């Protein structure tokens, strides 16, 4: 009876929809289940790591300790000097590291005495002595360095080992150059102080700047003292008295500007050159003119450059001038040569 009723219903539906019965059977039946009629509540599941075996990693103290261990390993790797220029550095320094580890363990058993001693690996994290890191600073462009070395080797081979006069001077005589920071003045004002110290010894130049009334004399004096200290500390200049390089009798020489001076110490520092240059502008102010016009007055800065040398240079220059003067032949007013290009008539 039920099947007959269903068949009748399907036939009536097909007659009303004008569709075949098989299409109506294949259509989806509406679902009237209770779970789709009642209101639903949205649910979300969050995973809090319950039941995981690694419970210690979630603790903040453990995380802090692991972070410190990573930082310590990084510092040791950066400070480790086993990666040196030689491939045998690791084998050479491995026994030393084993001895250090044994000493540190023995100190820890004795009550932490080794922890009290400063460790060599504890240094500034930015200062690395690893070979790869050092090469970035000491040899940033190895290809250019190799090309430059090849070029110099070829020049040396072509010259057959001979050294030019300029190269010999550069090897035997020392010099140092210093540059100041931008000073709040103009080049027109600073150039007078620069001219005042040229040719004087370093002590005389400092004395001149000490008693000068100019505002920038204080800065020039500071720059002279800095250049002097750098020359002594980095180049070993001006150490004739401690090394015993003083002359028994002062030598009298003539400078390039014509002054005669006495030199008793050939390593005495003097200001060989001094020049000034423009720096960045400090700012500008508006200057008002007539007829509603205006302009900008820029506030300049200037830098002073100082080059220090030893008295050995002036002694050499004096000897070269004397030798050149001695080689010159005497000047003759009327040279003794035959008369040429004669004419039988006057040229006027």
For residue 130, how many other CB atoms are within 10 A of its CB?
Answer: 16
Give the integer Cα–Cα distance in Å for 244 and 259.
27
**Closest among 252, 255, 270, 256 to 204, alpha carbons compared:** 270
pLDDT in tens, the chain (348 residues): 444 444 445 445 445 555 555 555 555 555 555 555 556 665 555 555 555 555 554 577 777 778 888 888 777 766 665 455 555 566 666 677 777 777 777 765 555 444 444 444 444 555 677 777 788 888 999 999 999 999 999 998 999 988 889 999 999 999 999 999 999 999 999 999 999 999 999 999 999 999 999 999 999 999 999 999 999 999 999 998 888 889 999 999 999 999 999 999 999 999 999 999 999 999 999 999 999 999 999 999 999 999 999 999 999 999 999 999 999 988 888 888 888 888 888 877
Give the integer Cα–Cα distance in Å for 325 and 319.
10
For residue 152, how many other CB atoms are within 10 A of its CB?
Answer: 10
183 and 216 Cβ atoms separated by less than 8 Å: yes
**Closest among 234, 203, 225, 237 to 312, alpha carbons compared:** 237
190 and 223 Cβ atoms separated by less than 8 Å: no
Q: How far is CA 198 from CA 89, 206, 217, 274, in A?
A: 52, 12, 14, 6
Phi-psi region for residue 328, left (φ > 0), alpha (ψ -120 to 50) or beta?
A: beta
Instruction: Please list the alpha-helical segments (H only) found in 141-238.
Output: 142-158, 165-172, 187-197, 202-210, 217-235
Q: How far is CA 101 from CA 36, 125, 315, in A?
A: 72, 22, 60
Give the integer Cα–Cα distance in Å for 262 and 264.
7
- Please state whether the predicted TM-score (pTM) of the whole model is above 0.85: no
Q: How far is CA 165 from CA 170, 172, 173, 316, in A?
A: 9, 11, 12, 12
For residue 318, how many other CB atoms are within 10 A of its CB?
Answer: 19
**Closest among 337, 272, 261 to 310, alpha carbons compared:** 272
Tell me what pLDDT residue 85 has. 52
216 and 208 Cβ atoms separated by less than 8 Å: no
Residue appearing with tokens 């460790």: 119
Q: Which helix (H) or strand (E) holds 282?
A: none
What value does the CA radius of gyration of the chain take, rounded to a whole number of Å?
45
Structural domains of the chain sorted by starting position, each given as residue range(s) with its CATH number in brackets: 176-327 (3.90.470.10)
**Closest among 307, 287, 311, 312 to 297, alpha carbons compared:** 287
Q: Which residues contact 183 (CB under 8 A, 6 or more apart)?
A: 190, 216, 219, 279, 301, 302, 303, 304
183 secondary structure, DSSP code: B
105 and 98 Cβ atoms separated by less than 8 Å: no
């Amino acid at each position: 009876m039920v099947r007959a009723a269903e068949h009748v219903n399907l036939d009536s539906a097909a007659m009303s929809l004008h569709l075949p019965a098989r299409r109506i059977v294949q259509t989806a039946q509406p679902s009237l289940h209770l779970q789709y009629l009642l209101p639903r509540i949205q649910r979300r599941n969050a995973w809090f790591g319950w039941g995981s075996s690694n419970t210690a990693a979630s603790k903040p103290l453990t995380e802090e300790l692991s972070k410190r261990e990573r930082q310590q390993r990084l510092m040791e790797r950066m400070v480790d000097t086993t990666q040196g220029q030689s491939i045998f550095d690791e084998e050479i320094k491995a026994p030393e590291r084993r001895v250090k580890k044994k000493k540190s363990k023995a100190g820890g058993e004795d009550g932490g005495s080794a922890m009290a001693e400063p460790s060599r690996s504890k240094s500034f994290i930015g200062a690395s002595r690893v070979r790869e890191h050092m090469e970035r600073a000491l040899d940033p462009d190895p290809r250019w360095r190799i090309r430059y070395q090849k070029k110099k080797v070829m020049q040396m081979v072509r010259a057959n080992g001979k050294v030019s006069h300029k190269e010999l001077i550069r090897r035997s005589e020392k010099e140092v150059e210093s540059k100041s920071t931008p000073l709040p003045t103009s080049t027109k004002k600073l150039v007078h102080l620069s001219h005042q110290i040229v040719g004087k010894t370093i002590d005389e130049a400092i004395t001149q700047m000490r008693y000068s009334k100019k505002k920038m004399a204080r800065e020039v004096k500071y720059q002279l003292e800095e250049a002097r200290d750098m020359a002594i500390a980095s180049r070993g200049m001006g150490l004739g008295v401690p090394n015993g390089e003083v002359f028994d009798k002062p030598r009298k020489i003539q400078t390039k500007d014509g002054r005669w001076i006495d030199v008793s110490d050939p390593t005495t520092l003097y200001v060989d050159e001094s020049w000034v240059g423009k720096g960045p502008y400090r700012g500008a102010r508006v200057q008002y003119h007539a007829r509603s016009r205006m302009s900008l007055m820029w506030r300049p800065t200037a830098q002073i450059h100082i080059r220090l040398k030893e008295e050995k240079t002036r002694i050499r220059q004096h000897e070269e001038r004397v030798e050149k003067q001695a080689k010159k032949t005497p000047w003759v007013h009327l040279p003794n040569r035959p008369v040429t290009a004669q004419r039988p008539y006057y040229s006027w």
